[in-house]
């Protein structure tokens, strides 16, 4: 038996990471490239996407508004083939259902469920017959709360359900979901603003590992889901055990 590090399985393959210009997505892109893959990232900001691709020697940097199918179509026209599709886009769209702007709440599903559908349809047969597809959900799927995250939690749970259904519908393509807990990414600062530091301090007291996860740890989990050819229809929790407390 040959002992081979799983990430070597993606050497020479073409990876597309939607939401790959920062945080978990960027870390996954860097690690996939280090494993020998040809990596293209897609983000919402054209300048940022181009900068990231140039800075890290990636194959390409694309931009689109994932809530608008027509921009996805345009952005992906030049993508000839994808062996591994990763969909990590999504903002922290929160608000209580009786009070919040409904357009904002709609983004929770538009940026996740419908964006995934539109990207898959845009790629069509350019997505390899044995491709891997990785979605993102989140710890809210297991531990919803009463602080305006009900719709976001529902969207996160929907991604896990969508992945299981598509693992059958798109077979033999593999479809899995990454479910991160508290990861120290730029999104955390954007979501919490001035309250970030106090929130992080509180988490460190309550989390089993007494720390947040890093983008590199979560990015490595994304690469694992790409590279392991027998994991399918699964949700991989990378949360330091936060769902247990």
| Cβ-contact 178, 238 below 8 angstroms | yes
Which region, left, alpha or beta, applies to residue 145 given φ > 0 means left and ψ of -120 to 50 means alpha? beta
Q: Residue 75 is encoded by which pair of tokens?
A: 């952005």
Domain architecture of the chain: domains with CATH: 7-185+215-239 (3.40.50.720)
Q: Report the alpha-carbon angle 239-243-245, nearest 5.
A: 120
Specify the range with the lowest mean pLDDT, choosing from 132-146, 158-172, 177-191: 177-191
Tell me how far apart the alpha carbons of residues 27 and 101 are, in angstroms, rounded to a whole number: 32
Tell me how far apart the alpha carbons of residues 108 and 90 are, in angstroms, rounded to a whole number: 7
pLDDT at 191: 60
Q: Residue 57 is encoded by which pair of tokens?
A: 């020697």
pLDDT in tens, 227-244: 999 999 999 999 999 888
Sequence-ordered alpha helix ranges (H) in the chain: 23-34, 46-56, 69-76, 102-109, 115-123, 150-169, 186-192, 196-206, 215-227
Residue 2 pLDDT > 50 = no
pTM, full prediction: 0.93
Region 130-155 average pLDDT: 94
Tell me how far apart the alpha carbons of residues 149 and 153 are, in angstroms, rounded to a whole number: 6
- Mean pLDDT for the chain overall: 93
């Amino acid at each position: 038996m040959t002992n081979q590090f799983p990430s070597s399985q993606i050497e020479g393959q073409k990876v597309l990471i939607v939401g790959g210009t920062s945080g978990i997505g960027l870390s996954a892109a860097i690690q996939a490239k280090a494993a020998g893959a040809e990596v293209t990232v897609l983000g919402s900001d054209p300048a940022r996407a181009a900068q990231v691709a140039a800075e890290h020697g990636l194959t390409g940097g694309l931009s689109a508004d994932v809530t608008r199918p027509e921009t996805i179509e345009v952005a992906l026209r030049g993508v000839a083939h994808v062996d591994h599709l990763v969909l990590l886009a999504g903002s922290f769209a929160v608000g209580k259902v009786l009070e919040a702007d409904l357009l904002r709440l709609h983004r929770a599903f538009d940026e996740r469920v419908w964006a995934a559908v539109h990207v898959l349809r845009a790629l069509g047969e350019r997505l390899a017959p044995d491709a891997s597809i990785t979605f993102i959900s989140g710890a809210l799927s297991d531990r919803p709360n009463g602080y305006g995250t009900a719709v976001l939690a529902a969207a996160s749970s929907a991604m896990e359900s969508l992945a299981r259904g598509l693992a059958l519908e798109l077979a033999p393509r593999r479809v899995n979901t990454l479910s991160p807990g508290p990861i120290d990414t730029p999104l955390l600062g954007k979501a919490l603003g001035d309250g970030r530091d106090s929130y992080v301090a509180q988490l460190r007291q309550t989390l089993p590992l007494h720390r947040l996860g890093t983008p590199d740890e979560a990015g490595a989990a994304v690469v694992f889901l790409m590279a392991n050819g027998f994991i399918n229809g699964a949700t991989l929790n990378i949360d330091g055990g936060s769902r247990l407390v």
